[in-house]
A and B are shown apart, each in its own frame.
Chain A
Amino acid sequence: MAERCAVIGIGQTKHASARTDVSIAGLVREAALRALDDAGLDWADIDAVVIGKAPDMFEGVMMPELYLAPALGAVGKPMMRVHTAGSVGGSTVLVAAHLVTSGIHERVLTVAFEKQSDSDAMWALSVPQPFSPPLLAGAGGYFAPIIRAYIRRSGAPDHIGIAVAVKDRLHGSRNPYAHLHMPDITFESVRDSVMLWDPLRYLETCPSSDGAAAMVLASEQAAASSPAPAWVHGMAMRSEPTMFAGRDQVNPRAGRDCVADVYAQAGITEPRREIDVAEVYVPFSWYEPMWLENLGFAAEGEGWKLTDSGATSMDGGDIPWNCSGGVLCTNPIGASGMLRFAEAALQVRGLAGEHQVDGVRRALGHAYGGGSQFFAMWVLGSEKP
């Protein structure tokens, strides 16, 4: 990348199942104002706005970015909307970062949101298709067979998914912005929860949330006065078709290629040793061991052993994953990827509060979407790259 880029401001809403106190505009404004405040900036300091959200069907508002321009101080400035399904929060950040690394802008505001309470994502993802039986059953119905394939391929025991569900909820109970706060969750309560999409239980599944996230990205010059910038060390996006003969859906090539690119930019050869924390898009508990392998933290078939050893817990693990509670605690779909990127930045800046890990120097933020076909990732560091 040509110019350096840093995160200098981060904001998020209090996430909840229904934020009926605000409109969509009020929701994104709340996150954006917090990011500006964190950066010590005003609307006038922002050069451009990049916004992302998942499919318009989720709120029934076509092109919501058109009506959100005043709420985001974008009047008279460049504004664009990004869409890559569930990974959009991540790819939105990267489009904004490219506007800085390319030298075009000094300070870019990036925002992502979802207001799931306006409709029902389960419905929006399960609309019967012409000429086909009505078999679609939401994201869980799509991903559960892939999880079953992972379990068969790796020989992982049944309790791994339960362990991730418990760990991420315990992490999330320390995050005041998280939607779900479940400090009393137990292995038994997850195990005994309803089997919604066998092999996926209710408590191994992410919630539906209303929420927004925002960040201010700055050039090296604009970040000079920031007390704690988080520097971009590497970033990449990759995609692949939803279906083709021989596609590996458990360990998608687009994810492997994407992270290889990011690690090469950041000079990382041993991710487990060189990365201190990771915020990874895990909407269903089993995606932690799957992505541990896809992202090179464990050899193929070995990810579940890392989870099982407690390595990904912030209570004593050497590579804590999703200290914020992750998507399993908070899922405003369009914002979920940006929250991963923002939480990675909070860790690098030492500002994550009760879920801060000591001495974080490098952190990974990750998002995926569609039928595991869109990937966006970045690695941030406390030092300039």
Chain B
Amino acid sequence: MTAAAWTERLRTGLWKDNPGLVQLLGLCPLLAVTSTFVNGLGLGIATLLVLTFSNALVSATRRLIRPEIRIPIYVVIIASLVTCAELIFKAWFPALDRSLGIFIPLIVTNCAIVARAEIFASRNPIGASIADGLGMGAGFALLLMALGAFRELVGQASLAGFSFADSGFLLAVLPPGAFFALALAVALKNHIDGKPGR
């Protein structure tokens, strides 16, 4: 793969086709864990790793696999990778693991991952699939961090645990705040891209 092709794939994931902002995939974890910056960062990194490895494995095995059994195979690959990610978090980032709780195992159900396996990795060579995984994963992770930072700042007047004031606007850390924050982010992206309302 050329450098230009890499840049293009990364740009697609990070901005143009951002899984959270444009494809609106994986919203359940996105909304649930973004109450703080650190949670967003933790789940973002875990998703990025799983997505990159699953793209690589799916692409590497794409010629061996008959179309009839591709979905069960994606499920086995993704479930194994998520289990590994969970064990690694438990071993090396126990505090983060406790605060993310069930959302690490739930990466398995993040449809952004199956979607990239089906749409991209099963039809493209391994290099491009890794680039796609990195780009999409980083796009998702950055969105999680941005939402987490925004909600923590507004809701608790703190960032990454450092507090600036006694209290914030509590709504931002409650579930509705997640929807407001995501809507603002989508609107901001459309505004920057110059798209009128669709």
* Mutual binders A and B: no
Binding site for B on A (CB under 8 A): none
